[in-house]
Amino acid sequence: MDILSNLAMGLSIALSPYTLVLAIVGCFVGTIIGALPGLGPSNGVALLIPISFSLGLDAISALVLLTSVYYGAMYGGRISSILLNIPGDEPAMMTTLDGYPMARQGMAGEALVVSGVASFVGAFLATVGLMVFAPYLARVAYQFGPAEYFALYMLAFCTLGGIGSSNQAKAALAAAIGLAIAMIGLDKTTGMPRFTFGELHLMDGVDFLVAIVGLFAVAEIFHFIESHGRDSAIGVKLGKILVPWKMLRQTSGAMLRGSGIGFIAGVLPGAGASLGSFLAYMGEKSAASDKDSFGRGNPRGVAAPEAGNNAAAGGALVPMLTLGVPGSGTTAVLLALLLTLNITPGPLLFTERPEVVWSLIASLLVANVVLLLMNVPMVKVFVKILSVPAWVLLPGVTMIAFVGIYSLTGSSFDMLMMVGFGVLGYVMRKLDIPTVPVILGILLGNSMEDNLRRAMVLSDGDWTYLFSSPIALGLWIAAIMGFVAPIFLRRFLKKPPLPATDPTLNED
Amino acid sequence: MKIIVRGAALALLTSVALPASAAECIAPANPGGGWDFTCRQIGRIMTELELVPNMVQVTNLAGAGGGVAYAQVVSKRSDDPELFVAASSATTTRLAQDAFAGATADQVRWVGSIGGDPGVIVVAKDSPIQGLNDLVEAVKADPGSVAFAGGSAVGGFDHLKVLMLLGDAGVEDMRKIKYIGMDGGADAITQTVGGFAQAMTGDMSEITGFIRSGDVRPIAVLSEERVAGFDDVPTAKEQGVDTVAMNWRGIYVPKDISDEDYQRWVDHLTAVGQSEQWQTVMAENGLEPYLVTGAEFQSFVDENIAEIQELSREIGLLK
């Protein structure tokens, strides 16, 4: 009952007409920020911090505004993933895999509704999880040392091969490219710069947002120019939007499983929303009987990652609030906001500042409901923004991509690098190499390497340390199963027919 | 509706790209970090004290741990009298280790430090290590048995604190000291509470919550005197090791401004440092008074850099 009375207190603070208006504005702005390629939840929130200061908002109002933007951006990322094949932000990347094929088959409306509901389910369950379990879950982080984290990333990498539906070797090649890019920058274990060639801008490594916008948005623009707009992603028609109840029922299992996986990934500091949506997608795919339909517009392939990334966004708040450890880029920015409001997250936050915690939770719930209402019946409004003629949209996307990347660090170097990634993405598309594993390589490679190196420092180079705890062992077994099992299973099952060239994916 | 949407998007974009006005503070990191904090608080108080005519414009220029901002100030804005830049121990550490692509500390003018975050060493609550002497003995007996976790990379300030402390305590071989660099102080505490590392090195402000909740036990604070509010935490000095390591927060200005302009910034910073508003900010954020300005601060920076260079050579980070 404690929880309910606390929640009532939180709602009473967070539900004044003024904060409600802030929540609606935040959700709206957040959805747009999320939908625009290059502007993701972390720079969206970062951009709004100074604005909320200049508006003179008090702590609670600022929190309501920024969490609404945060959740809004998590919802919005899927819109451009589905309609343009350009992920609006990094966690929405997995949604392109099935969402865009669905849109090509004339089911854009269904994909948007399913993913919107999945986002709600994921975010809602995660908020409930945060409410009920946060104090206990904080302890989970203490169980994860370098060896355990390394095994967790290994698990993610072992399932990577399954991502490209046709050619696993190409997926592995792409992941290797990503890993190589991840090596650029300052090496934490020796303090030495690697592959920076004396260039200061490379010291911090390659920002994965630069890579995503380049590989997806800029490459799409190149492709559009080459094909004069034929077969391009731009200009998907959107029919009347009806709520596809049957499809929602079919995907409800995927949403629940995705939420569960995503929440756990979110709770672990350092894993974050992208890993959450990735594992949710791969989990759903490996559990499905119709694996081949994934990557070609399976609604479950939209529901699982969307539920996963939104649940991870909620889960990431657990270590942020209870330990002060940000689980993702966005929670890092929210943490910074709390610190500037003189609220120090840590083990005592729940007992010392309950009004802050519970109004934050209440505002998450409010934002969620607002977003569901905004994203399902009103999805056309957002789609309208993206469905203007190509000659308007493309320069717009290009401009926003450049502005978004420039706003990251304020340097033109990143913009040049983004164009470089665009060329790489274009070439890879010509060679039919998937680009998603490149991003995952960049995203996970650094943490995987850092944790391996830390483990080696701690154990004086004894590699058995990597298998020294039950959690690590369990993760290793899961990783090996994920990698080896498909090879054997294939032998038992009938030799699958060669995947017919998919007209929606390989027409170039 | 469409127009509103586009209007909102446009407003959002233009708000990012406001033109710079009078006084400007560059925070060499993204919003939210320590440098951003320094800029925003000093800027706010300067405005409140009416030292500057308008709001101080804060520009975030992240990259290379402050290196991008440093390079830009040196190469492009070396004579801008209205510009100041947030700095801390991390800035001088990286300058000392030549991590700013050849830039050196004498390419800017150091105005002063306005507060400091004392270094602290903590262990998990159930650790057998009771005091600084236990820790030093354990490291001397078997350096491999004590792994330190900190929030900076190898060679960063959290690492150097441990090296300074153990060096002063008589530990000979710096290379044998085990250190793992985590992504921030809270991460390092998690690893220590979880038992993966035996001790954690960080700034006082990062750890206060964990000290009060009892998850970790501080064994030494690296300040001249005990820290207010944590009066039962002994200094390293009291325990016989004379090490002071403050993560100072301060500012520098471009090199080619006039002496009057430099003195103006020194006066402004002193005024802010003595203001009531700043005392409140420090108390709320776990900072200790550390007001060193002008020529005195210049020489502090020089000594600091020399010391870090020596340590970095010992661990092989500098040739």
**DSSP labels, B166-180:** HHHTT---GGGSEEE
B142 phi, psi to nearest 5 deg: -150, 95
Phi, psi dihedrals of residue B147, rounded to the nearest 5°: -100, 130
Question: B8: nearest CA in chain A?
Answer: A29
Q: Are B256 and B78 in contact (CB under 8 A)?
A: yes
> Which residues of chain B have a CB within 8 Å of the CB of A462?
none
**Which residue among B5, B184, B190 places its CB closest to the CB of A32?**
B5
Query: Which of the listed ranges A235-239, A442-446, A451-455 does the model predict with the highest average pLDDT?
Result: A451-455
Cα within 13 Å of Cα(B57), Cβ side? 14
Could A346 and B59 be called an inter-chain contact, meaning their C-beta atoms sit closer than 8 Å?
Answer: no
Most A CBs within 10 Å, among B180, B216, B280, B314, to test the A interface: B180
In which band, very low, low, confident or very high, does the pLDDT at A75 lie, cut at 50, 70 and 90? confident
Q: Determine whether the interchain pair A203/B36 forms a contact, defined as Cβ–Cβ distance below 8 Å.
A: no
pLDDT at B252 over 60: yes
- The DSSP element (H or E) to which B43 belongs, if any, is helix B34-48
The encoded tokens of residue A360 equal 């934050």
Nearest CA in chain A to B57: A50
Whole-number pLDDT of residue B250: 94
Between A279 and A47, residue with greater pLDDT:
A279
> Which chain A residue has the Cα nearest residue B177?
A457
CB A319 within 8 A of CB A270: no
Which residues from chain A sit within 8 angstroms of residue B33, using beta carbons? 336
The tens digit of pLDDT for each residue in A120-165 reads: 999 999 999 988 887 777 777 788 889 998 988 888 777 766 655 5
SS3 B232: coil
Which chain A residues are Cβ-neighbours of B213 within 8 angstroms? Answer: 346-348
Q: Chain B partners of A201 at a C-beta cutoff of 8 Å?
A: 63-64, 68
Nearest chain B Cα distance for residue A326, angstroms: 9
Q: Do B63 and A33 touch (CB under 8 A)?
A: no
CA distances from A307 to A128, A153, A288, A292, B185 (A): 14, 21, 17, 21, 31
Q: Where are the alpha helices (DSSP H) in A345-411?
A: 349-352, 354-375, 379-386, 390-409
Residue A54 has pLDDT above 80, yes or no: no
Query: Could B209 and A344 be called an inter-chain contact, meaning their C-beta atoms sit closer than 8 Å?
Result: yes
Provide, rounded to the nearest whole percent, the portion of chain A with pLDDT above 70. 85
In the predicted model, is pLDDT for residue A441 greater than 80? yes
Query: Of all residues in chain B, what percent carry a pLDDT higher than 90?
Result: 59
The closest alpha carbon to A305, from A66, A100, A53, belongs to A100
What is the fold, at CATH topology level, of the domain defined by B2-116+247-314?
D-Maltodextrin-Binding Protein; domain 2 (3.40.190)
Cβ separation B285–A342 shorter than 8 A: yes
With cut-offs at 50, 70 and 90, classify the pLDDT of residue A394: confident
Per-residue pLDDT at B240 exceeds 90 = yes
- Closest to B175 measured CA to CA, from A190, A366, A20, A198: A190
- Whole-angstrom distance, CA of residue A424 vs CA of residue A227: 18
Q: Which secondary structure element, helix H or strand E, spans residue B201, and what is its range?
A: strand B199-203
> Rounded CA gap, A362 and A360, in Å?
5
Nearest C-alpha in B relative to A459: B144
Q: Is the pLDDT of residue A495 over 60?
A: no
3-state class (DSSP) for residue A121: helix
Provide the terminal-to-terminal Cα distance of chain B, rounded to the nearest Å.
63
Better pLDDT: A489 or B146: B146
On the question of pLDDT at B1 being above 50, the answer is no
Q: Which two tokens stand for residue A149?
A: 């984290």
Search chain B and give the residue with CA nearest A32.
B9
Query: Does position B7 have pLDDT exceeding 70, yes or no?
Result: no
Q: How far apart are alpha carbons A313 and A365 in whole angstroms?
A: 13
pLDDT digits 0-9 by tens, B38-65: 898 899 899 889 898 888 888 888 888 8
Contact B190 A323 (CB under 8 A): yes
Among A269-278, A348-357, B14-23, B227-236, which stretch is predicted with the lowest mean pLDDT? B14-23
Q: Which residues of B touch A417 (CB under 8 A)?
A: none
Distance CA A439, CA A331 (A): 20
Distance in angstroms (rounded) separating the CA atoms of residues B36 and A351? 28
Q: Do A47 and B12 touch (CB under 8 A)?
A: yes
Token output for A493: 């099952």
Range with top average pLDDT, A1-5, A39-43, B36-40: B36-40
ipTM of this complex: 0.81
User: Which residues of chain B lie closer than 8 angstroms to A141, CB-CB?
Assistant: 190, 194
Residue for token digits 């607002």? Answer: A370
Q: How far apart are CA B151 and CA B167, in angstroms?
A: 20
- From the list A350, A404, A398, the residue with the least C-alpha distance to A43 is A404
**What pLDDT was estimated at residue A497?**
45
| Listed residue (A19, A4, A23, A1) closest to A371, CA to CA | A23
| Angle at alpha carbon of residue B7, lines to B6 and B12, rounded to 5° | 95
Which among A164, A202, A132, A80 has a CA at the least distance from the CA of A431? A164
Contact A453, A186 (CB under 8 A): no
Would you state the pLDDT for residue A419?
A: 94
Q: Are A363 and A308 in contact (CB under 8 A)?
A: no
Question: Hey, are the CB atoms on A347 and B215 less than 8 Å from each other?
Answer: yes
Per-residue burial over A278-298, b if 16 or more Cβ lie within 10 Å, else e, is bbbbbbbbbebeeeebbbbbb
A402 chain-B contacts, CB cut-off 8 A: none
Q: Report the C-alpha gap between B312 and B319 in whole angstroms.
A: 9
pLDDT digits (tens, 9 = 90+) for A413-434: 889 999 999 999 999 989 988 8
Better-predicted residue by pLDDT, A457 or A88: A457
Asked if residue B15 has pLDDT above 50, the reply is no
Put simply, the answer to whether A28 touches B8 (Cβ < 8 Å) is yes
pLDDT reported for residue A503: 42
Q: Sign of the CA dihedral A303, A117, A14, A27?
A: positive
Predicted confidence band at A1 (pLDDT cuts at 50, 70, 90)? low
Q: What is the pLDDT at residue A227?
A: 77
pLDDT at residue A142 in the model = 85
What is the pLDDT, as a whole number, of residue B17? 41
Locate B99 and state its tokens.
């991590």
Distance CA A115, CA A125 (A): 15
Over B274-316, what HEC string results? HCHHHHHHHHHHCCEEEEEEHHHHHHHHHHHHHHHHHHHHHCC
Q: Where are the domains of chain A?
A: 2-492
Do B118-222 and B2-116+247-314 fall under one CATH topology?
A: yes
B108-124 and B216-222: which strand pairing? Answer: antiparallel
Chain pair A-B, CB pairs under 8 angstroms = 169
Least CA distance to A344: which residue of chain B?
A: B209
CA distance B263 to chain A (A): 30
Q: Do B190 and A191 touch (CB under 8 A)?
A: no
3-state DSSP assignment of residue A62: helix
Mark yes or no for CB contact B186/A411 under 8 Å: no
Q: What's the fold here for domain B118-222?
A: D-Maltodextrin-Binding Protein; domain 2 (3.40.190)
Residue B70 has phi, psi (to 5 degrees) of -60, -45
In this complex, the residue of B12, B190, B212 whose CB is nearest that of residue A348 is B212
- State the pLDDT confidence band at A490, using cuts at 50, 70 and 90: low
Rounded Cα distance between A357 and A364, Å, is: 11
Contact A212, A36 (CB under 8 A): no
Residue B86, helix vs strand vs coil? strand
Q: Is the pLDDT of residue B229 over 90?
A: no
- Taking CB atoms and an 8 Å limit, are B9 and A32 in contact across chains? yes
Residue of A39, A47, A54, A186 to mutate for B, most B C-beta atoms under 10 A: A186
Angle between helices B89-96 and B157-168 (to 10 degrees): 80
- Measured between its terminal Cα atoms, the distance across chain A in Å is 59
Identify the pLDDT of residue B296: 95
Interval A273-285: pLDDT, tens: 778 888 888 888 8
Instruction: Give the amino acid at B99.
Output: A
Global pTM reads 0.81
Residue B250 sits at φ, ψ, to 5 deg, of -155, -165
pLDDT of A229 reads: 63
Asked if A191 lies within 8 A of B68 by C-beta distance, the reply is: no
Q: Which of B114, B107, B68 is nearest to B254 (CA)?
A: B107
Kindly give, in sequence order, each residue whose CB lies less than 8 Å from that of residue A128, ignoring residues fewer than 6 positions away: none
Cβ of B58 within 8 Å of Cβ of A198? The answer is no
Contact in structure between A176 and A441 (CB atoms under 8 Å): yes
pLDDT in tens, A318-343: 888 888 777 666 777 777 777 767 67
Q: Which two tokens stand for residue A448?
A: 């995987």
Q: What is the mean pLDDT of residues B154-177?
A: 92
From B37, B192, B28, B194, select the one nearest B120 (Cα to Cα).
Answer: B192
Q: How far apart are CA A213 and CA A157, in angstroms?
A: 22
- CB contacts of B144 in chain A (<8 Å) are 460
pLDDT of residue A505 exceeding 60, the answer is: no
CA dist., res. A176 & res. A171, Å (int): 9
Give the integer Cα–Cα distance in Å for B30 and B17. 15
> A290, A244 in Cβ contact below 8 A?
no
Q: What pLDDT does residue A237 have?
A: 58
pLDDT of residue A108: 81
